Structure 1
């Protein structure tokens, strides 16, 4: 070994082994970051974080406490900070933004496309927003303010204003030369060159891959394909649906006059689809939009209203039991068996509900096939009941020593599964027709209905048949 090699410090092989085979941050790496933050060792923090992907830095922030995040964010290089901010959960991002100096934040935002920069600025408090925008160059500030002028969750808020367009009379050579001359002014990510008419309205698009394969003297109009233009005021869910249906990679965004004002790319749509799916899943469970940065108070505020509604529906179900108090006193076995009927009804209703809400969200269910879908779920509920009824009927009959008990619970099972299928389909359809989000409150209605009718049918049949 040479003298120079002997003087080199030993290399920590584990230093940058941040991810495991499932692309999840390792416990050891997180502990190293925590130790460096506790020691106030900024240079070590920067060494640990500088090679991480922004998405992994955002994931790391979710594993850290607020105190550790406050230290880590101060040592992120501006470029890495800029790319990390759009990846953070909303609650964590708001907290991080409070810790970043305004000048640093203004510098970081200049590294982002206008859509990502607007998403970050949107989370700032009014006074901080004014100071950060004032510290930015006029062009960048104007682009962000323009994006924020559109409705939240609209295509205008989602789009990036950086877009590559070319007039109809250009040839391939003109376009390639123009693209090369733009340098830093090019969009960070683009897949198509949009061909526009003299009024700046998109008349077609040419994929970059096709542009580069074509001879320089080829007219753009000979290469262009029709484009699916997105209206600037369209809801982001509609935009995601268009991208998914037509397998788009990018699409131009037009204003009310049809003029090209920006573009939306598939990376933004992936985020929207994940966000919408996450919201629907949480809403089906009666949970507000929570993330790792949510405080205990925020979580409680989101959950208590739905738990209160569930309490009211539970009281409604319990009142049915009170109606048959005399029957239960005479046949105690009913108290043991009746939760089975309501529980299976609730599960079956949730299955039908989940399928229906998903079909509505993906637009696979509408007025043209609603009746067919309803009858299909009704037949499924009947079939499930006919399969399960003999099983629970025989078991209940043997346990109670009375075949009539088996017949009662078997019949109640079939009828309640039919009720579950009915409310599981009709509830979200009705809420959707009334312009309410079916994912928000359907589960409460379905559970309440299956509990109410489960107890009513079972105890009612028992009263008629067994007494």
Structure 2
């Protein structure tokens, strides 16, 4: 209870088997029979030296098969994975998942065994962390529930709605810069949401993949920044594919090939922007110590709306004579 609830120390259990490595296999088996019924994990034995420092682990299967006169040290695996009690539970879950561990030991700075985190606790952590990320992507606090009191839900959700409102005004201001263009070509008003909406959807795809990779420990800004070009290239290809379809539909509806061409170019540009920001935003937020799931969606939709509107309407203004 002296550790944070979301740390390795907070979720560890002290119900484990730890034996001196200089015990014989026969004596170790007697200890396992004596201690085993009281422990949560019996198949992994944690091996200590004479200073009570953790030196490795032994598997119960190896213990049963080894000659009785051998020492426990002889079947000890010294290539162990361990964590300190202050480590965040999400990092512990990543290690257990990565190395397929049944339990991971928690040690202090002197390498003394404090407890273990078992795989069933890790499952609870994974569910909790994924639920938290999913809610935060939607701008909802993880404490908010369907049956929460009305005022509690208002207090948890309203601040993010005000943030979204501010970004919506930014997009509205961008559109307002081109009011004269929209007044002359009304078809632009019908086409604008397509560009912004497709950019938002494409960006959300990139965002979801990146946040998942961050959560699994697979992605790092310093190491993997070049992958941003892959996301931008993906945006270019997807933008071209969807832009051709959109351009043809608008051409058939309004009979103006230039309108189709403009939305084709704008779609490519906005999906490239969506891929760029969808990849970069969560990584930058993580690098400055902010939860990537907490604010990524707001920044992303702002970028795709503002740049999408500006690009589409800017092109329309440039080629206005061909649209009238």
Per the normalisation by structure 1, the TM-score is 0.66
Q: How many residues are aligned here? A: 319
Structure 1: tracts of 5 or more residues without a match: 1-147
Alignment RMSD (CA, Å): 1.6
Cα deviations across residues 411-433 of structure 1 (Å, max 9, x unaligned)?
11111111111111111121112
2:169 to 299, 315, 323: 315
Does 1:340 pair with 2:194? yes
2:72 maps to which residue? 220
2:141 maps to which residue? 288
2:250 maps to which residue? 396
Q: CA deviation at 1:293?
A: 5.1
Cα deviations across residues 182-212 of structure 1 (Å, max 9, x unaligned)?
476x213333111101111111111123222
Contact 2:221 2:284 in 1 (8 A): no
Separation of aligned partners in 2, 1:295 and 1:197: 54
1:41 maps to which residue? none
Does 1:302 pair with 2:156? yes
1:7 maps to which residue? none
Separation of aligned partners in 1, 2:251 and 2:239: 17
Secondary structure (helix, strand or coil) at the match of 1:230 reads coil
Q: How does 1:368-387 map to 2 (within 5 A)?
A: 369-387=223-241
Measured at CA, do residues 393 and 161 of structure 1 come closer, stay the same or move farther in structure 2, by a change above 3 Å? same
Measured at CA, do residues 292 and 166 of structure 1 come closer, stay the same or move farther in structure 2, by a change above 3 Å? farther
Secondary structure (helix, strand or coil) at the match of 2:68 reads coil
Q: CA deviation at 1:464?
A: 1.2
Secondary structure (helix, strand or coil) at the match of 2:319 reads helix
2:212 maps to which residue? 358
Contact 1:154 1:233 in 2 (8 A): yes
1:231 maps to which residue? 84
Separation of aligned partners in 2, 1:252 and 1:402: 68
Separation of aligned partners in 1, 2:224 and 2:3: 35
Cα deviations across residues 208-243 of structure 1 (Å, max 9, x unaligned)?
232223333232111111221221221111111111
1:272 to 120, 125, 138: 125
Contact 1:190 1:265 in 2 (8 A): no
Separation of aligned partners in 1, 2:98 and 2:165: 41
Q: Which has the larger radius of gyration?
A: 1
Structure 2: tracts of 5 or more residues without a match: none
Q: CA deviation at 1:368?
A: 5.1
Contact 2:221 2:283 in 1 (8 A): no
